[in-house]
């Protein structure tokens, strides 16, 4: 199939069926000649439309692949963004039911909760601070719908950047209360440290990641909205979440977030 003939709604339904039926699907790029990035985001938008059409609402947006650790783990070299459905948001501590997921992994996230809209172009780090009500820690559960968690950049964009669940911490700080570039995270699986990082691992500054997303969305007439959460991306690589696995992200200034696979 040539790129110009890509049916975005069809591919979105293909990915959603994989998620619904809890089965891996073949990467789109293994089935067509080329998947341009714009088409990949169009599939992602169609996927979101399907989810919202079922009664879900939008809780926010996410960045992915904003750290060297994640880019190296997944073999891709640029950041991506996706959407956070409200049904995917979990409390700071608790169980993650694995019976609805395919091959989940967990990763720590810095999360911005917006108090006012952020509309690009021209959004700066100072604007992000002005628009942010609080910054909290989180753990994202990612779950690629693709076979063996393996994909190219356009594939993962189409698949809403592997978004599946996110547990959001409660010990937030106001912007400016701590230096986000030196804010630390220790990520543990079953009590063993698997990764450590500071906010600077996220393209130098987590707030700059959020500004980048607002500016990118602004080019397409979209904005980050008041009340949304915006995930800046993982600073460490992601780890498998199995039944009984306990994942804890301990943040300086932001308390801890713990999830357990059940």
Helix (H, G, I), strand (E, B) or coil at 52: helix
Q: Is 143 near Mg ion (CB under 5 A)?
A: no
From 44, 152, 162, 236, residue interacting with ligand 0L1 (rule: CB under 6 A): 162
Distance CA(152)–CA(149), nearest Å, equals 10
Token reading at 10: 């069809």
Q: Which of residues 78-107 bind ligand 0L1 (CB under 6 A)?
A: 80
- The span of 7-15, 23-31, 156-164, 215-223 binding ligand 0L1 (CB under 6 A) equals 156-164
Site stretch for Mg ion (CB under 5 A), options 18-26, 37-45, 134-142, 193-201? 134-142
CB of 65 to ligand 0L1, least distance (A): 5
Binding flag, residue 175, ligand 0L1 (CB under 6 A): no
74's contact among Mg ion, ligand 0L1, none, with CB below 5 to 8 A by partner kind, is ligand 0L1
Distances from the Cα of 145 to the Cα of 151, 162, 209, angstroms = 10, 7, 25
Q: Of these, 140, 143, 155, 159, which contacts Mg ion (CB under 5 A)?
A: 140
The window from 9-17, 61-69, 76-84, 251-259 that contacts Mg ion (CB under 5 A) reads: 61-69
Q: Which of 53-61, 93-101, 183-191, 229-237 is the region at the interface with Mg ion (rule: CB under 5 A)? A: 229-237
User: Under the criterion CB under 6 A, does residue 161 sit at the interface with ligand 0L1?
Assistant: yes
Total site size for ligand 0L1, rule CB under 6 A: 15
Distance CA 253, CA 11 (A): 42
**CB–CB of 105/142 below 8 Å?**
yes
Task: Check residue 185 for interaction with Mg ion (CB under 5 A).
Answer: no
Within 9-48, the residues that bind ligand 0L1 by CB under 6 A are: none
d(CA 211, CA 223): 11
Choices 5-13, 16-24, 35-43, 233-241; region in contact with ligand 0L1 by CB under 6 A = 233-241
Between strands 239-240 and 89-90, the pairing is: unpaired
Interface mask toward ligand 0L1 for 112-151; x: CB under 6 A: ----------------------------x-x-x-------
Contact predicate 258/90, CB 8 Å: no
237 sits near Mg ion (criterion: CB under 5 A): no
Please, how many CA atoms are within 13 Å of residue 76, restricted to the half-sphere of its CB? 17
Closest CA to 257 of 102, 90, 112, 83: 90
Q: Which of 35, 164, 234, 249 is the binder for ligand 0L1 (CB under 6 A)?
A: 234
Q: 182-209 in b/e burial notation, b at 16+ Cβ within 10 A?
A: ebebbbbbeeeebbebbbbbbbebbbbb
The residues, ordered by sequence, that sit 6+ positions from 63 with a Cβ below 8 Å of its Cβ are 79, 80, 81, 209, 210, 212, 213, 230, 231, 232, 233
Q: Which residues bind Mg ion (CB under 5 A)?
A: 64, 140, 234
Q: Which residues bind ligand 0L1 (CB under 6 A)?
A: 62, 64-65, 70, 74, 80, 140, 142, 144, 156, 161-162, 233-234, 238
């Amino acid at each position: 199939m040539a790129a110009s003939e890509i049916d975005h709604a069809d591919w979105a339904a293909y990915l959603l069926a994989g998620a619904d039926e809890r089965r891996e699907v073949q990467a789109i790029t293994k089935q067509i000649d080329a998947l341009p990035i714009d088409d990949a985001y169009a599939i992602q938008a169609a996927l979101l439309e399907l989810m919202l059409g079922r009664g879900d609402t939008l809780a926010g947006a996410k960045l992915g692949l904003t750290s060297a650790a994640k880019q190296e783990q997944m073999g891709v070299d640029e950041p991506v963004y996706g959407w956070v459905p409200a049904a995917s948001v979990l409390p700071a501590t608790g169980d993650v039911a694995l019976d609805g997921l395919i091959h989940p992994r967990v990763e720590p996230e810095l999360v911005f909760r917006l108090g006012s809209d952020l509309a690009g172009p021209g959004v700066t780090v100072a604007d992000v601070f002005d628009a942010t009500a609080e910054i909290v820690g989180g753990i994202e559960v990612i779950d690629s719908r693709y076979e063996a968690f393996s994909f190219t950049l356009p594939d993962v964009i189409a698949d809403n950047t592997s978004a599946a669940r996110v547990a959001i911490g409660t010990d937030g700080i106001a912007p400016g209360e701590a230096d986000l570039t030196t804010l630390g995270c220790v990520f543990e699986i079953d009590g063993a440290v698997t990764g450590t990082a500071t906010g600077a691992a996220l393209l130098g500054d987590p707030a700059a990641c959020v500004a980048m997303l607002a500016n990118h969305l602004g080019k397409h007439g979209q904005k980050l909205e008041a009340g949304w959460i915006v995930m800046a991306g993982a600073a460490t690589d992601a780890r498998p979440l199995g039944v009984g696995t306990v994942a804890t992200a301990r943040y300086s200034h932001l308390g801890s977030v713990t999830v357990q696979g059940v």
